């Protein structure tokens, strides 16, 4: 069923594919993010309760959704790395973890900056905020574990196990606002019901969410390519590629 | 799928399933402790199956809707008191300090403080909760009949 995926396990093939994707995704991500943030921060109407403060949602929600999305993709890569022992999947974990950590940090920081004027506090130890903080620690833990062993393969395996195990946290983050009473409000768009947001505010938010996704894709392509070059530095095809690049520059 | 891969697949999957079960059981056991606050009915009727009631003098958080018309301000200080409600019982909160901008009647709030008696709390901190609905003022007015008045304007109207 997944036989068509097999060639992409080969670093050289994957490298070329990632280059193609990156060339499309990076400019697209920048354009979409610019449209979404300018529309959202500058041209949407103010909220009836929160006034202009709610505009931070256009950064907060996309980064929070994709902090979980990045983790899910990283865990899938880790699962493939553990079961099928595909080394490119292994490198993908290391490529995605810092992106996820930064997204989580953005979500936590913008959340605090939003919480101070609206709730009256930067931080509260409710279930949603705490579980999102744990997500940050999971990302940092994966990054640290990968480099914690003298033997690179042991570190890779330990990081993959942690990445897979940490998936348990994702449903906890998502459902925390339903299972327990929290200061954080319930879901606005990630639910089966109609989004409880006026269309004039919803569209720029959806564009921002798409923009964060595209940026994640573009950065992953970039970082995974770097990882492939690092790990395969001694291979003839890498040497040839580097030489070609140098010729192109001269 | 070759046997070694199959073995690893089973191992990784079973770790994940066991761990989810473990974490699930743990969270279920801790269920009442993960809640950030008591609701007024939990405070009055008790929490969970054992009907655990907080004791007088205990520090706790209470969360509910501010009852319309219940906010009483002291004219010469920042002292304020108001009633909270969820589905039935009413709990009174006394507070001395600045309320958050989003504090208004009918709005959800969370207060932290000490239990004075069964239904009274002396709060040290009041936080405003907001809901997941976002809309422009005109839409809110049309849909809900809510006329948005920022809190500052309300005060200036009362004390010209």
Cβ separation A187–B126 shorter than 8 A: no
Contact B139 A48 (CB under 8 A): yes
The CATH number of residue B46's host domain is 2.40.50.140
| Strand B120-128 versus strand B72-73 pairing type | unpaired
> A185: which 2 tokens?
């409000």
Give residue B146's pLDDT.
60
B160, part of any domain: no
For A129, which residue in chain B has the nearest alpha carbon? B36
* Total Cβ atoms within 10 A of residue B58: 9
Per-residue pLDDT of chain B (160 residues; tens, 9 = 90+): 788 888 899 999 999 999 999 999 988 888 777 888 888 888 888 877 777 788 888 888 999 999 888 888 888 888 999 999 888 889 999 999 888 888 888 888 999 999 998 889 999 999 998 888 888 887 777 776 666 555 444 444 444 3
Residue B130 sits in the same domain as residue B56: yes
Residue B120 belongs to a domain: yes
Residue A92 has a pLDDT of 95
Q: What is the pLDDT of residues A9-21, one digit of tens each?
A: 889 899 999 999 9
Asked if residue B100 is part of any domain, the answer here is yes
Q: Do residues A181 and B63 make contact, with C-beta atoms less than 8 angstroms apart?
A: yes
- pLDDT of A8 strictly over 90: no
ipTM: 0.80
Instruction: Give me the DSSP letters along chain A.
Output: --GGGGGGGSHHHHHHHHHHHHHHHHHHHHHHHHHHHHIIIIISPPBTTTBGGGGGHHHHHHHHHHHHHHHHHHHHHHHHHHHT--HHHHHHHHHHHHHHHHHHHHHHHHHHHHHHHHTS-S----HHHHHHHHHHHHHHHHHHHHTSSSSHHHHHHHHHHHHHHGGGHHHHHHHHHHHS--SS---SSSSSSPPSB-HHHHHHHHHHHHHHHHHHHHHHHHHHHHHHHHHTTTSHHHHHHHHHHHHHH-
Q: Which residues in chain B have their CB less than 8 angstroms from residue A180's CB? A: 31, 34-36
Rounded to a whole number of angstroms, the distance between the first and last alpha carbons of chain B is 80
pLDDT per position as a tens digit, A180-239:
888 898 888 888 888 888 888 899 999 999 999 999 999 999 999 999 999 998 999 999
* Best CA proximity match to B128, nearest among B94, B104, B153: B104
Residues of A in contact with B136 (CB under 8 A): 45-48, 198, 200-201
Co-location of B134 and B66 in the same domain: yes
Residues B51 and B15 in one domain: no
Any domain includes B155: no
Distance from CA of A150 to the nearest CA of B (A): 24
* B25 and B78 assigned to the same domain: no
Rounded to two decimals, the pTM is 0.89
Same domain? B18 vs B51: no
Distance CA B154, CA B156 (A): 6
Is the domain of B1 the same as that of B47? no
B44 assigned to some structural domain: yes
What's the pLDDT score for residue B158?
43
Work out whether strand B90-96 and strand B79-85 pair parallel, antiparallel, or are unpaired.
Answer: antiparallel
Q: Is residue B158 part of a domain?
A: no
Residue A34 has pLDDT above 90, yes or no: yes
Whether residue B108 is found in the same domain as residue B121: yes
Residues B13 and B55 in one domain: no
Q: What total of structural domains would you count in chain B? A: 2
**Chain B residues near any Cβ of chain A (below 8 Å):** 5, 8-9, 12, 15-16, 19-20, 23, 27, 31, 34-37, 39, 63, 99-102, 107, 110, 125-141, 146, 148, 150
Angle at which helix A57-83 crosses helix A127-146, to 10 degrees, equals 50
B7 and B85 inside one domain: no
Our CA-based measurement puts residue A51 at a distance from the nearest CA of chain B, in whole angstroms, of: 9
Q: Give residue B144's pLDDT.
A: 66
Q: In terms of domains, do B57 and B92 share one?
A: yes
In a domain, B159, yes or no: no
Query: Which band of pLDDT confidence, cut at 50, 70 and 90, is reported for residue A102?
Result: very high
Contact A57 B134 (CB under 8 A): yes
Domain-embedded: residue B154 = no
Q: Cβ–Cβ contacts within 10 Å for residue A119, how many?
A: 25
Considering the domain architecture, whether residues B6 and B69 belong to the same structural domain is answered as no
Nearest Cα of chain B lies from the Cα of A218 at a distance, in angstroms, of: 30
**Mutation target vs B (from A2, A46, A48; most B CBs, 10 A cutoff):** A48
- Structural domain containing residue B130: 36-149
Residues of A with CB under 8 A from a CB of B: 45-51, 54, 57, 79, 82-85, 117-121, 124-127, 161, 164-165, 167-168, 172, 179-183, 185-188, 196-198, 200-201
Question: Are B81 and B49 in a shared domain?
Answer: yes
Residues β-bridged to residue B128: B109
Contact call for A57 and B100, based on CB within 8 A:
no
């Amino acid at each position: 069923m997944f036989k068509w995926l097999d060639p992409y396990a080969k670093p050289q093939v994957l490298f070329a594919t990632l280059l193609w994707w990156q060339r499309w995704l990076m400019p697209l991500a920048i354009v979409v993010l610019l449209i979404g943030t300018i529309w959202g921060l500058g041209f949407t109407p103010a909220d009836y309760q929160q006034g202009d403060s709610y505009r931070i949602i256009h950064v907060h929600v996309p980064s929070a959704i994709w902090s979980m999305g990045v983790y899910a993709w990283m865990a899938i890569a880790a699962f493939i790395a553990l079961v099928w022992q595909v080394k490119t999947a292994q490198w993908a974990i290391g490529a995605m973890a810092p992106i996820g950590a930064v997204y989580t940090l953005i979500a936590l920081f913008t959340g605090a900056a939003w919480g101070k004027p609206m709730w009256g506090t930067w931080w509260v130890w409710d279930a949603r905020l705490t579980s999102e903080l744990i997500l940050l620690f999971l990302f940092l833990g994966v990054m640290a574990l990968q480099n914690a062993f003298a033997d690179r393969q042991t570190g890779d395996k330990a990081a993959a196990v942690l990445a897979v195990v940490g998936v348990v946290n994702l449903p906890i983050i998502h459902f925390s606002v339903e299972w327990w009473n929290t200061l954080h409000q319930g879901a606005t768009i990630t639910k089966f019901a109609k989004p409880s947001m006026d269309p004039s505010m919803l569209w720029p938010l959806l564009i921002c969410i798409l923009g964060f996704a595209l940026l994640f894709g573009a950065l992953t392509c970039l970082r995974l390519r770097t990882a492939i070059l690092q790990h395969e530095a001694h291979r003839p095809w890498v040497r040839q590629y580097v030489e070609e690049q140098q010729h192109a520059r001269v | 799928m070759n046997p070694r891969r199959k073995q690893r697949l089973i191992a990784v999957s079973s770790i994940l399933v066991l761990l989810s079960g473990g974490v699930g059981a743990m969270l279920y056991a801790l269920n009442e402790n993960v809640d950030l606050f008591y609701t007024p009915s939990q405070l009055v009727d008790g929490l969970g199956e054992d009907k655990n009631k907080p004791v007088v003098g205990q520090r706790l958080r209470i969360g509910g809707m501010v009852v319309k018309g219940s906010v009483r301000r002291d004219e010469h200080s920042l002292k304020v008191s108001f009633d909270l409600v969820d589905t039935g019982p009413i709990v009174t909160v006394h507070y001395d300090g600045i309320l958050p901008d989003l504090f208004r009647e009918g709005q959800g709030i969370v207060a932290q403080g000490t239990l004075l008696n069964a239904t009274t709390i002396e709060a040290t901190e009041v936080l405003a909760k907001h809901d997941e609905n976002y809309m422009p003022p005109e839409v809110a007015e049309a849909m809900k009949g809510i006329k948005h008045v920022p809190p500052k304007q309300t005060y200036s109207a009362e004390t010209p």
